[in-house]
Chain A
Amino acid sequence: MTAETRALMGACAVAAFAATGALAQDTTITIATVNNGDMIRMQGLTDEFTAEHPDIAVEWVTLEENVLRQRVTTDISTSGGQFDVMTIGTYEVPIWGAQGWLQPLDDMPDDWDADDLLPAIRGGLTVDGTLYAAPFYGESSMVMYRTDLMEAAGLEMPDAPTWDFIKEAAAAMTDTDNEVYGICLRGKAGWGENMAFLTAMSNSFGARWFDEDWAPQFDTEAWANTVNFYLDLMNNYGPPGAANNGFNENLALFQQGKCGMWIDATVAASFVTNPADSTVADSVGFALAPDNGLGKRGNWLWAWSLAVPAGTDAEEAAKTFVAWATSKGYTELVAETEGWANVPPGTRQSLYDNPAYQEAAPFAAMTLESINAADPTNPTVDPVPYTGVQFVAIPEFQGLGTQVGQEFSAALAGQQSAEEALESAQALAEEEMEAAGYR
């Protein structure tokens, strides 16, 4: 057989396959997703899915997180019916699930194995015992630090540091003349930006957003301690302009070797250890988020998850896709094509039991431990009426969280004192809770 004939036959086969594919595709599902790396990989593997399910065609709407959230929230609250699968987080699922806007996922295929899901993650996506979304990847937060700088400072990072140690290390590592800052933390205003960090941090200081009667707690000493400690750390050992730094800004700083420590999402571990982008890839260590000995650590919990809205006209196909993309088989598929280090992390125990993954991802153990250390249903030292570690799963939180975040961001920028910021936060929260009818 000559090369030409082979090529010709190949072309015919492809054409025939494409033709049958086109004929058989009777359902089209539209999937809304975030433009993060793991989702982009999922989009890239669409052909694998359609090869298995030739009767389903897939359309992607990939958007930046904030735009996507705005888009899907409007769609679900007006029953726009534009999407068959939505990528949403642990904040949305409890609210939307309770409203009856999501299809329950209790009839997933057996080999999907819901019991393999990490309990903390599964708990965050369950409302009254029913699972409403399938976790695609999960994350917590942890300390990432420069092993070389830590050594030069003559210190050793414990696996479970305290806040006091973090402060001591930050002071020792800071070298302003060479643009090395001891600690980089989020400062950009937003409920998912600085408030994600501060709320998680406040849990370890014994603070909480609301008491059992929904009374805002920003006037407590625990919150004052949290904010003062944070401002003290950042003002003395943080980078300039920190009040506008979010995840990406800090990532860029860390990758350029300008941060001694960075406390942020566990997914950052794969970025900072990637030698193609990071100048410090070979000298990064990991530790659990700090605590104050009060029984809670300052780490959060988030899971980007796939959910099927109640109004979809392609429920069957949508669920088929969700089951495929969150299955163990998908993990293996990614491992085959992109390597184990690139599989979506943080959702299944089986992944962390896999020796191949443990070897490819040096941060695997610390990620798993961080995720297991978070408990969205019981996030704080004192009891609270809400779920969510770094957020409060009520519809009002997005707006309120961002406004409070602006107050703390302004305090970090030096435009007001911690006391003023806390006072404003308390007033904002009281106003909002009263208007929303909680009190």
Chain B
Amino acid sequence: MARAVTTRRKTITTIVAWAIGILIFFPILWTILTSFKTEAEAIADPPSFLFFNWTLENYTLVQERSNYFRFLMNSVILSVGSTLLGIIIAVPAAWAMAFVPGRRTKDVLLWMLSTKMLPAVGVLFPIVLIARTLNIYDSYILLIMVLMLINLPIIVWMLYTYFREIPGEILEAARMDGAGMREEILHVLTPMALPGIASTVLLNIILAWNEAFWTLNLTTVKAAPLTAFIASYSSPEGLFYAKLSAASTMAIAPILILGWFSQKQLVRGLTFGAVK
């Protein structure tokens, strides 16, 4: 009896969840579909959903025109590089704030966030002038540093929240067993914090991947990522929706696939059944 109810409930949940999921995903689906249309069909009246002449010409065109893989490689290098660097700096900081909170911990956290509040365009000229003076314009190192710095407060914050979820009893138990701080971090905390770190990493890769102000203004050729690739397809004179859709699909695809593979990890969250 109870089982039947669960199945019915599960069926209803399934229908509702899928309906909402598809609704939310629809604009992206539409973009992907548009990428297989011709420019004329992309603005056709009435729009056709599936019954149009599927074509790959947009993808061929985009591939002919720009070196997609160079942009892709740069995006990967910048987003992964800046996230890893950020994690290396943020993990100790967040750990310390979560487990050894001082009187000013909250102030420090707030201050970190406040560094993100200066409108990017307000500091554009200072940063450009610094980059020019140091001669690091259009280099990986500049972009990795900038992306790391703008996302560092977010990384610290997210890690801090995840770490706070780890019950203090576990640490005390470990200390009782005579574990030093190093063992404490390596063998007790890290395994527990891993899901939190993983979702922080993924979220920050996405944030860095989509960052379109600094990556456009501080790169020219060598370090230009997919945001620059997209900017070369949006809003020219003439019709562009199909080509832009193809370029967008190519820009979204890698990160969508990454998300696909890591979504379980991403939402596994923090489970501490063992302690309670």
Q: A interface vs B, CB < 8 Å?
A: 30, 34-37, 40, 43-44, 59-67, 70-71, 74, 78-83, 247-248, 251-252, 255-256, 265, 267-268, 271, 276-279
Q: B65, B124, B234, B239: which has the most chain A beta carbons within 10 Å?
A: B239
1/0 contact trace for B34-47 toward A, CB 8 Å?
Answer: 00001110011100
Q: For residue B220, which residues in chain A have a CB less than 8 angstroms away from its CB?
A: 30, 59, 61, 82-83
* Residues of chain B whose beta carbon lies under 8 Å from any beta carbon of chain A: 38-40, 43-45, 64-66, 124-125, 128-129, 132, 137-138, 216-217, 220-221, 224, 228, 231-240
Q: List chain B residues, Cβ under 8 A from A251.
A: 238-239
Q: How far is the CB of B33 from chain A (nearest CB, A)?
A: 18
- Whether A256 lies near B43 (C-beta < 8 A) is yes
Query: What is the chain A residue whose CB lies nearest that of B216?
Result: A67
If the complex has contacts A78-B128, A78-B129, A80-B132, are A62 and B43 also in contact, measured as CB distance less than 8 A?
no
A248–B235 touching, CB < 8 Å = yes
Tell whether, in the assembled complex, residue A255 and residue B40 are in contact, meaning their CB atoms are under 8 Å apart.
yes
**A-B pairs, 10 with minimum CB distance:** A62-B232, A35-B236, A82-B220, A36-B237, A59-B221, A252-B43, A63-B231, A277-B40, A67-B231, A36-B236
| The one of A74, A81, A248, A265 that contacts B217, using a Cβ cutoff of 8 Å | A74
**Sampled A-B contacts (9; CB under 8 Å):** A37-B238, A59-B221, A61-B221, A62-B232, A63-B231, A82-B220, A252-B43, A277-B40, A278-B40
Instruction: Decide: A71 and B217 in contact? CB cutoff 8 A.
Output: yes
**Is A79's CB under 8 angstroms from B236's CB?**
no
Chain A residues lying within 8 Å of B64, measured Cβ to Cβ, are: 44
CB atoms of B238 and A82 under 8 A apart:
no
Given known contacts A64-B232, A71-B216, A255-B40, A248 and B237 CB-to-CB distance under 8 angstroms: yes
Q: Are B221 and A78 in contact (CB under 8 A)?
A: no
Closest to A79 in B: B132
Q: Give CA–CA (A9, B77) in the complex, Å.
A: 39
Question: What's the Cα separation between A61 and B231 when bound, in Å?
Answer: 10
* Among B128, B228, B234, B237, contact of A37 (Cβ-Cβ < 8 Å): B237
Q: For B39, list chain A residues within 8 Å (CB).
A: 276-277
B235 close to A64 (CB less than 8 A)? yes
| Cβ contact of B231, chosen from A44, A64, A252, cutoff 8 A | A64
Chain A, residue nearest B235 (CB): A64
- Complex contacts, B235 vs chain A, CB 8 Å: 35, 64-66, 248
| Inter-chain contacts of A83 with B (CB < 8 A) | 220
- Report B12 CB to chain A, min CB distance, Å: 39
Determine chain A's interface SS by DSSP, over half rule: mixed
- The distance from the CB of A265 to the nearest CB of chain B, in whole angstroms, is 7
Chain B contacts for A36, CB-based, 8 A: 236-238
Residues on B with C-beta less than 8 A from A247 are 237
Q: Inside 8 A of B138's CB, which chain A residues have their CB? A: 82
CA of A267 to CA of B237, assembled, Å: 9
Report the minimum CB–CB distance from B187 to chain A (whole Å). Answer: 49
With both chains docked as a complex, state the minimum distance between the C-beta of B210 and any C-beta of chain A, in angstroms: 15
**Distance in angstroms between the alpha carbons of A44 and B64 in the assembled complex:** 9
- CB neighbours of A71 from chain B (8 A): 216-217
Indicate if the CB atoms of B239 and A78 lie closer than 8 Å. Answer: no
Taken together as a complex, chains A and B put the C-alpha atoms of A43 and B128 apart, in Å, by 27
User: Smallest Cβ distance from A30 to chain B, in angstroms?
Assistant: 6
Instruction: Report yes or no: A265 in contact with B237, Cβ–Cβ below 8 A.
Output: yes
For the complex formed, measure the closest distance between the CB of A151 and the CB atoms of chain B, giving whole angstroms.
Answer: 23
Cα–Cα distance between A406 and B199 once the two chains are bound (Å):
42
Of the candidates B38, B65, B137, B232, the one whose C-beta lies within 8 Å of that of A63 is B232
Known: A40-B65, A78-B132. A35 touches B233 (CB 8 A): yes
Report B-chain residues with C-beta under 8 Å of the C-beta of A66. 235
Measured CB to CB, the nearest residue on chain B to A265 is B237
Residues from chain B with a CB closer than 8 A to the CB of A255 are: 40, 43, 239
Scoring B39, B228, B232, B234 by chain A CB atoms within 10 A of each residue's CB, the highest score goes to B232
B239 lies within 8 A of A82 (CB):
no
Residues from chain B with Cβ under 8 Å of A63 in the complex: 216, 228, 231-232
- Among B66, B129, B236, which residue has the most Cβ atoms of chain A within 10 A? B236
Q: Which residue of A lies closest to B222 (CB)?
A: A59
What are the residues of chain B within 8 A of A70 when measuring CB–CB? 217
Given known A-B contacts A80-B137, A255-B40, A277 and B239 have beta carbons under 8 A apart = yes
Distance of B220 from chain A, by nearest CB (Å): 5
In the complex, chain A residues whose CB is within 8 Å of the CB of B231:
35, 63-64, 67
On chain B, the residues within 8 Å of A277 by CB distance are: 38-40, 239
* Bound complex: CA A44 to CA B62 (Å): 12
For residue A284, give the distance in angstroms from its CB to the closest CB of chain B.
Answer: 15
Contact B232 A35 (CB under 8 A): yes
In the complex, A278 Cα to B43 Cα: how many Å? 10
Given contacts A43-B65, A64-B232, A80-B128, contact A256 B45 (CB under 8 A): yes
Q: Which residues of chain A are within 8 angstroms of B233 by Cβ–Cβ distance?
A: 35, 64
A75 to chain B, nearest CB (A): 8
User: CA separation between A216 and B129, bound complex, in Å?
Assistant: 35
A74 touches B236 (CB 8 A): no
Which residue of chain B lies nearest to A32 when distances are taken between CB atoms in the complex?
Answer: B220
- Rounded to whole angstroms, the CA-CA distance of A320 and B220 in the bound complex is 21
A81 to B45, CA, bound (A): 47
Q: A70-B217, A248-B239 are in contact. Are A61 and B224 (CB under 8 A)?
A: yes
CA distance in complex: A62, B232 (Å)? 5
Nearest chain-B residue to A257 (Cβ)? B45
Contact A248 B240 (CB under 8 A): yes
Within the complex, the shortest CB–CB distance from A14 to chain B, in Å, comes to 18
Beyond A82-B138, A247-B237, list 9 extra A-B contacts (CB 8 Å). Answer: A35-B235, A40-B65, A63-B232, A65-B235, A80-B137, A248-B239, A255-B43, A271-B237, A278-B40
Q: Which residues of A contact B128 (CB under 8 A)?
A: 74, 78, 80
